[in-house]
Structure 1
Amino acid sequence: MRMGKAGLARLRGFLWIALLSWIGVVAPYDAGVRAAEFQPLEIATQSGVKMFSVEMARTEKEKEMGLMYRKYLPDGQGMLFDFSPAQPVSMWMKNTVISLDMIFIDSDGRVLRIAENTEPLSTRTISSGGLAKGVLEVIAGTARKYGIAPGDRVSHPLFDRH
């Protein structure tokens, strides 16, 4: 089938719109917004061990950006914020459009506190309630789904006790 100049121009226009739509939806998640590396993290709960793949937020810029502007976070993935040394930590949901569970973790790798189903786009502060060395952000409902509770053990090099 041959296409005339007008048909070819319409096809090119459609392809540009498709490409720009893809860039607007996928690229913010895949390029430049992510932290530098993914690492495995385990949480030992009363019902078993749950594995996660986490992006590390170590630099001030990575910690400031966090999961802002993300439209999707798969189950089993998250972001681990490194606040070494352990300190009182306050988080917020500014520019974060998906609801999250925030899991505050002490220097020994124990879950200190969980803020479940945080309110998207809120500037209300969410406190660690004690000294936290790390904060794990996962999609809302994860803590309840997997039975994650204060006192559970988190295994990750950030909490290495050596």
Structure 2
Amino acid sequence: MRVALIHRILRSFFTRMLLPAGLVAAPFAQAQEAPQKLSQVQLSAGMHLIHAEVARTEEQRSIGLMHRPSLAANDGMLFVFDRPGVQCFWMKNTLIPLSIAFVADDGTIVNIAEMKPRSLDSHCSAKPVRLALEMNSGWFAKRGIASGATIGGIAAK
């Protein structure tokens, strides 16, 4: 019982402190080889519909879109954090290039970053947010969606 408790504490520490900073990969994230499949929500960006899987738990967020060989054109992943903070992402074990929009609670895009696959480069929100939306690389730019635009359907998440 004590070993399990210690394992949970260590996993929580690695996930909360080191993993978001891109310093180390949590053991459970490394062991995950098959892509995770999470529940979906429908969002919108202007007239564009988005089918986003929702990553709410620490484990779901740490795995994210890792190990996926592709992502459908209007599919993405919405990361939901418990509290606002400067959220940082990196792409170790992520096989496809992605764009990430850091989003305020009201759905306003704070900033967007382009992320290269299998990279340890850190991409962070310009200010504290609770939400981040990953899509295929260039998805936002190709549709003329930039900082200040609104993601519909996100405020209730």
Moved over 6 A (4+): none
What value does the CA root-mean-square deviation take over the aligned residues? Answer: 1.7
Identity among equivalent pairs (%): 32
Which has the larger Rg?
Answer: 1
**Corresponding residue of 2:95:** 97
**Corresponding residue of 1:70:** 68
Which SS does the other structure have where 1:152 is aligned? coil
- 1:6-155 equivalences in 2 (<5 Å): 28-29=34-35, 33-35=36-38, 37-44=39-46, 49-116=47-114, 118-155=115-152
Gaps of 5+ in 2: 1-32
Residues 70-98 of structure 1: per-residue CA shift (max 9 Å, x gap): 00101000000001322110110011010
- The CA distance in 2 between the partners of 1:136 and 1:28, in whole Å, is 21
- The CA distance in 2 between the partners of 1:133 and 1:110, in whole Å, is 12
Corresponding residue pairs, total: 125
- 1:128 deviates by 0.5
| 2:156 is the alignment partner of 1:160 | yes
- The CA distance in 2 between the partners of 1:126 and 1:75, in whole Å, is 22
- The CA distance in 2 between the partners of 1:83 and 1:145, in whole Å, is 27
Relative to the length of structure 1, the TM-score reads 0.72
Higher share in strand: 1
- The CA distance in 2 between the partners of 1:93 and 1:148, in whole Å, is 22
Relative to the length of structure 2, the TM-score reads 0.75
